[in-house]
Amino acid sequence: MGSMNRRLAWTVLAVIAVVTLALWLVTRPDPIPVVLTPVESGRVNATVANTRAGTIEACRRARMSTSMGGQIARLPVAEGDRVEQGQVLLELWNDDTKAQVALAEREILAAKSRAVEACTMAEIAANDSQRVVRLRDQGVAAVETTDTAVGEAKARAAACQAAQTSTLVSEARLDAARAAMDRTILRAPFAGIVAEINGEVGEVVTPSPVGVATLPTVDLIDTQCLYVRAPIDEIDAGAVREGLPALITLDAFPGAEYPATVRRVAPYVLDLEKQARTVAVEISFDDIENAGALLVGYSADVEIILDVRENVLRVPTEALLEGHQVLVHRDGVLEERKIEAGLENWEFTEVVSGLEEGDQVVLTVDRDGLADGVEVTREDPSAATE
């Protein structure tokens, strides 16, 4: 009887165990699929980035207008043309000043001719004077005759000097006429590309009044020297200095990165918006010749590299939880672990301690239900992005 009771008890226990196991298998949550990434050695940069989009600027840009009003007579360039330094960009009607230049040039010719005549007569008078003086010394010529010859020579010499001075005056008048004509001509101060023209042949243009902003007649840009001007938060600006390496990215060319260098940090803070104070930083392209078809005005982002560490343990920054916690995969179960972080940026974070090379950490930390002790399964990274 006792043996039967024991067998019955064992049978009941076995049934309960089977039922409990079946219930647990039915009710337990399915393992959560996660994307894992290994802890590995590599490069980590400490960087700062702009707070708002930057802009490509030209090192030299001239928004030019004529210094005087007038009617456009000649416009030998068009928007998009590449021009050389000194090339004529625009010319106002200037027939009157051209006539003044021609008149001054002829006056110079006449003045030079008069000077030649006067100086020749002065030379003849000087020779006559010397001959009369010798005759006087020999007792042949009278004193009165000698005085007259000497006085005539002096007068002719003065006339020669006056004629030469008159030539200089005529040359100065020509310079003034040419300067007046140059005011009607707009020339390129440097080689570049014509970005904008506001005016057509026959239209009348006027110079900008003092203190009043008007459209430039010709906008000239030097595309051989471009840089990005971007705002950096005042909190980060203190670590930025000239000469630091940087990377430039452009919305116009997704995926491309351009090596660059910080060329200037503004010595003042901009307060354009409430509670948003920034410092303007200028970053120049290291290889502008191979940078492609860059246009002034393109929006750009910059990443300034403050420090670099090579061959250090690193994890993707997106794998970090609050407080520098990571989820480590151990035999299908997650283990929450705190790490000591070194340099970090938006892409990678240096691991000083807390992980070893080869450890598998969860990359998709935004999945619901992930926590210490939760069962997970490895998911193909390509499937996670679909």
| pLDDT confidence bin for 146, thresholds 50/70/90 | confident
| pLDDT confidence bin for 6, thresholds 50/70/90 | low
pLDDT at 50: 87
Q: Is the pLDDT higher at 225 or at 247?
A: 247
pLDDT at 293: 77
Which residues are paired to 303 by β-bridges?
Answer: 49, 247
Mean pLDDT of 245-270: 88
| pLDDT confidence bin for 12, thresholds 50/70/90 | low
Distances (CA, A) of 90 to 189, 217, 222: 13, 9, 18
In whole angstroms, give the CA distance from residue 223 to residue 191.
9
In the three-class reduction of DSSP (H, G, I as helix; E, B as strand; rest coil), residue 209 is classed as: coil
Closest CA to 329 of 351, 352, 358: 358
Mean pLDDT of 9-23: 66
pLDDT at 172: 92
For residue range 84-97, what is the model confidence (pLDDT) as tens digits? 999 999 999 998 98
Give the up-direction half-sphere exposure of residue 350: CA atoms within 13 A in the CB hemisphere.
15
Mean pLDDT of 224-248: 89
Q: Is the pLDDT higher at 269 or at 264?
A: 264
Token code pair at residue 60:
């030299």
Tell me if 357 sits within 8 A of 371, measured CB to CB.
no
Question: Is pLDDT at 210 greater than 70 in this prediction?
Answer: no
| pLDDT confidence bin for 384, thresholds 50/70/90 | low
pLDDT at 344: 86
Tell me if 302 sits within 8 A of 286, measured CB to CB.
no
pLDDT at 22: 59
pLDDT at 243: 92
For residue range 311-328, what is the model confidence (pLDDT) as tens digits? 999 999 999 998 899 999
Question: pLDDT averaged over the chain?
Answer: 85
For 154, the enclosing helix (H) or strand (E) is: helix 143-182
The predicted model scores a pTM of 0.61
In whole angstroms, give the CA distance from residue 339 to residue 44.
16
Q: What percent of the chain has pLDDT over 70?
A: 89
- Which of 26-35, 275-284, 336-345 shows the lowest per-residue confidence on average (mean pLDDT)? 26-35
Tell me if 230 sits within 8 A of 262, measured CB to CB.
no
pLDDT at 18: 66
pLDDT at 152: 83
Question: Is pLDDT at 3 greater than 70 in this prediction?
Answer: no
| pLDDT confidence bin for 21, thresholds 50/70/90 | low
In the three-class reduction of DSSP (H, G, I as helix; E, B as strand; rest coil), residue 238 is classed as: coil
In whole angstroms, give the CA distance from residue 293 to residue 83.
18
| pLDDT confidence bin for 300, thresholds 50/70/90 | very high
For residue range 288-298, what is the model confidence (pLDDT) as tens digits? 777 777 888 88
Closest CA to 334 of 384, 304, 383, 372: 372
Mean pLDDT of 91-105: 91
Mean pLDDT of 351-378: 88
Q: Which amino acid is at 275?
A: Q
